[in-house]
Amino acid sequence: MPTWLIIVCVVLYMAILFGIAWQRDQEATKPGFTQSPIIYALAIAVYCTSWTFFGAVGTAASSGWDYLPIYLGPALVFLLLPGLLRRIGNVVEREGVTSLSDFLASRYGKSRAIGAIVAIGAVVGSLPYIALQLKSVGMSVQAMTKPVGEIPTQSGAEPVLITAIGLALFAILFGARHADLTRRNAGLMRVLAFEAIIKIVALIAVAALSLSLIGSASIERVPRVADVFPADFSARFITITLLSMAAIICLPRQFHVGFIERRGDRDASIARWVFPIYMLLTSIVVIPITIAGAGGLPGSIPADLYVLELPLLNDQSWLALLVFLGGFSAATGMVIVATIALSNMVTNELIVPAFMRSGNLSNISGDAGARILSIRRIVIVSIILLAYGYFRIGGSSEALAQIGLLSFAAAAQFAPALLGAVYWRGAKQAGAVWGLSLGLIAWAYTLFIPAIVGHEVMMTAVPVWLDPHALFGLSFGDSLVHGVIWR
């Protein structure tokens, strides 16, 4: 497909998104405005990033049912723990909470230390995940523009840099237009709901194509479901399920959409059923796509690109374009909301307190709202450029392959403190500070640093008993399981 056509489609698509956001924001200023709970429920599907849009099939092709916990965990939270979601939402609404760090800091005696630790941990944990979105956009562009059947190579730095700059501008225009952080963003929520529909429609369409190929003579060797998805549920399966349960609450973007943008108990009641249904549909379509890709595509094609390559190799250019836009939506939605949430946390918990401690509060005086808004925009750009830097460091290796789970593990550090803040009246500030600090240090040592520099490189610099994958001689057979247990 010509590059110019893809560029035109992306520009038109983003123009449509801007139009949707602008119209919705105008409607929100009118008296009596109400937002449909369906919009809220679909917007929560920003959880489904390009990692799940493309990577679920890749995980299914290589590890069978290991893809399923990513969807199972959040569905279990919404179905089995509605009381927890309602209590957090009510606190956020009652106290005017603006972010996850603000929530935890306020529940532990308005602790600046806790707010700062959570903000730093959230940024470090999110950078690899944002880098993954940048990489996926670059790979999908390459897959669309290469000759049909040609093996895609590693996405270049230049297209990814252009994508990063564009996403920074989109994040600023979508979510950093108002200084008031308690003001709900109706336009952004409508855009996220629209993107959720594009994502699921694209996946269902590819699943339908896959079923038609499986049922026809187009695929000579159709793998058995039991061969592709063996009934083997390991400790890794349980670990990923638990991480996903924590992620749907503790990821900065999910906390922002799920609680900051919530408009009452009715939103939560509708989302309790709509969101699990969305997760169910997303998980089901992975099965036929994986089987059709494994049986009908050349073995040289990465499984992560089955969703795109199936339409391309079967002369379904229109469907391939829809899938590309679905993956683009998955990536941009995540980056936009994540950078908005992170910029709020960094500005409120790190930058403004630093001005106050230094006695330079006058530097942001005058039109304080405009100046803080400018700071948030600078932070958004900085976060995306840092993610691009991470891509440059790890993008040429396999370091990004499990980066989604790496970020999930980072977000899970906040779960104990969050549950303690909601249910344990005797929870102490000091305990939360030490728990968060030690947990993030353990996560960084056992998961984050090995992903950047490589396990082998680390082993040349540390004694055997400090092996990040077998700390103190204890190994659990899987680096993720090991890291989660230690942190």
Residue 455 located in a structural domain: no
Q: What pLDDT is attached to residue 157?
A: 61
Q: What pLDDT is attached to residue 423?
A: 85
Q: Are 119 and 349 in contact (CB under 8 A)?
A: yes
Residue 177 located in a structural domain: yes
Q: What pLDDT is attached to residue 63?
A: 81
Q: Are 436 and 413 in contact (CB under 8 A)?
A: yes
Distances (CA, A) of 452 to 115, 124, 137, 250, 395: 26, 12, 21, 23, 10
List per-residue pLDDT tens for the chain, 487 residues long: 677 787 788 888 888 888 888 888 777 777 777 788 899 999 999 999 887 888 888 888 888 888 899 999 999 999 999 999 999 998 888 888 888 999 998 888 888 889 999 999 999 888 888 888 888 887 787 777 776 656 555 555 666 777 778 778 877 876 666 655 556 777 888 999 999 999 999 999 999 999 888 887 667 677 777 677 776 667 888 888 999 999 999 999 999 999 998 888 888 889 999 999 999 999 999 999 998 888 877 777 888 888 988 898 888 888 989 999 998 888 888 988 999 899 989 988 888 888 777 666 555 555 666 777 888 888 998 998 888 888 777 654 454 446 778 888 888 889 988 998 888 777 788 888 888 898 888 888 888 888 777 777 787 877 878 787 777 777 766 777 777 776 6
* Cα 214 to the center of its chain, rounded Å: 32
Q: Are 334 and 46 in contact (CB under 8 A)?
A: yes
Residue 432 located in a structural domain: no
Which CATH number is 126's domain given? Answer: 1.20.1730.10
Checking phi first, is residue 313 left (phi over 0); if not, alpha (psi -120 to 50) or beta?
A: alpha
Residue 465 located in a structural domain: no
Residue 77 located in a structural domain: yes
Distance in angstroms (rounded) separating the CA atoms of residues 420 and 90: 16
Tally the domains of the chain.
1
Unique residue bearing structure tokens 């728990």: 435
Beta-carbon contacts of residue 298 (< 8 Å; ≥ 6 apart):
149
Residue 125 located in a structural domain: yes
Angle made by CA atoms 159, 160, 162, in degrees to the nearest 5 = 65
What is the 3-state composition of the chain as percent helix, strand, coil, each rounded to the nearest 5? 80, 0, 20
Q: What pLDDT is attached to residue 185?
A: 78
Q: What pLDDT is attached to residue 366?
A: 52
Nearest to 87 by CA among 251, 241, 225, 258: 258
Q: What pLDDT is attached to residue 52?
A: 82
Cα dihedral 428, 433, 435, 439, rounded to 10, equals: 160
Q: What pLDDT is attached to residue 400?
A: 44
Range of the domain at 148: 3-425
Residue 185 located in a structural domain: yes
Residue 433 located in a structural domain: no
Distances (CA, A) of 67 to 51, 64, 202, 404: 11, 7, 19, 12
Q: Are 395 and 131 in contact (CB under 8 A)?
A: yes
Residue 31, φ and ψ in degrees, nearest 5: -60, 140
Burial (CB count <10 Å: 0-12, 13-18, 19+), residue 189:
buried
Question: Considering the entire predicted model, what is its pTM?
Answer: 0.89
Q: What pLDDT is attached to residue 399?
A: 42
